[in-house]
Amino acid sequence: MNITVIGTGYVGLVTGACFSKMGNKVYCVDIVEEKIEGLKNNILPIFEPHLGSLVKSSQERGDLIFTTDIKEALDDTNIIFIAVGTPMAEDGSANLDYIFSAASDIANNITKDSLVVIKSTVPVGTGEKVKEHINNILKENNSQVKISMASNPEFLKEGHAIEDCLHPDRVVIGAEEKEVFETLKDLYSQFVLNHDRFVLMDIKSSEMTKYVANAMLATKISFMNEIANICEVTGADVQNVRRGIGSDKRIGYDFIYAGCGYGGSCFPKDVQALISTAQSNGYEPKILANVELVNKNQKMVLVNKVVDRFGEDLTGLTFAVWGLAFKPGTDDVREATSLVVISELIKRGAKIKAYDPQATEEFIRTIDDEYLDSIEFAKGRYEIIEGSDALILITEWKEFRNPDFDYFAETMNQKVIFDGRNIYYKKILNNKGFELYQIGC
């Protein structure tokens, strides 16, 4: 099939690359010329394992074409995916400006009947509004072209997006016409050869499904972090509790690890957007509001532990920070706990030495400029250990899991570790003379 994907951000680029891997001809369209020129030269705007090699091989075969010319793309396709960003507005709702801008571009450039599929995460009812928007422009242009609409939300995990896209555990399709279901099932058939993993529904339910999936996962994280805080004040160990409840198949082990808060582009934005959707329809969602509140407070847990150990005035102290990305396997620092922890420590007079395998440049672009003079960035994990008064682990990259603690003992000013992801064993570190502070244990 010939496909157009509008938007070359995280979702659009991964989607386009994976469709092209299956032999489809894919046009990836973006209005940012610099980004498109970079992609033509295999320079990716994001870090995602295996994406670079996939983009390169697909371009070499001629199956993946990057362009700023939407008319060129639409002339050669009749399945159009909208995969632009829906950033959070000031009131917590989803900003749909890019969605409707893409819809306008489609309406002003299509010359044949087409299927428009919204891949972006959008509030319930957006598909209906986009269809109306496109049809109004077509009518103004005296065009006889007809469009069909569908919703096909993505469920990609950053750091595992290629695997998730090529081997999805389910493909959710929202549509109103049988022919649309059949077209999209045909498109995805090569991704689900072994099992029928299609979940078919109406468009509004499909739009809601994406928000609810992320809200449920965020709720599990915040719930477990709340339990961790209760464990700390009662003397229980959240690691034991996790093992005890995770063995219940109704609960499972996924997303019940206590830590220092979730971040990224999806959970914070989508929880807020779902809250906004509920409120705009006259319903006050109490659980979701507290999921966000717990997560906001959780990002201060490491800061509070540092203050409890060293005092409110951190002047003269240097802290080594391992991990800046909101999770391993990505360079994404949106809503990352590192932004909160580092800025709060600097406010109290601390100096920071930081290392992350992928996210340093994004972190520098994201954090307020006023803090940068107090941060030293390193190219290796051990460069920042010498002379530090404590190590703070925020992101659990694999290279942090089994470090040389003997080197720590020899070079750190004080043998203190704050483990924000509970990856170290207290007994081992205590035997080496370290103070280890974790979450909920």
Classify residue 58 as exposed, middle or buried by CB count within 10 Å of its CB (0-12, 13-18, 19+).
Answer: buried
| Cβ proximity of 68 and 31 under 8 Å | yes
- d(C-alpha 321, C-alpha 317), whole Å: 13
Q: In what order do the strands lie in the sheet with 435-437?
A: 375-377, 351-355, 318-322, 390-393, 416-419, 435-437
Structure tokens at 261: 């808060």
Pairing state between β 114-118 and 147-151: parallel
- d(C-alpha 194, C-alpha 208), whole Å: 27
| Cβ proximity of 31 and 108 under 8 Å | no
In terms of Cα–Cα distance, which of 374, 385, 365, 379 is closest to 342? 374
Helical residues (DSSP H) of 174-285, grouped into ranges: 178-188, 203-234, 238-246, 267-280
Structure tokens at 355: 């290392």
| Cβ proximity of 356 and 336 under 8 Å | no
Q: Please name the helix (run of DSSP H) or strand (run of DSSP E) that holds residue 56, with its range, or none.
A: helix 51-61
| Cβ proximity of 380 and 386 under 8 Å | no
- d(C-alpha 17, C-alpha 53), whole Å: 10
Structure tokens at 226: 């709340």
Q: Report the catalytic residues.
A: 266
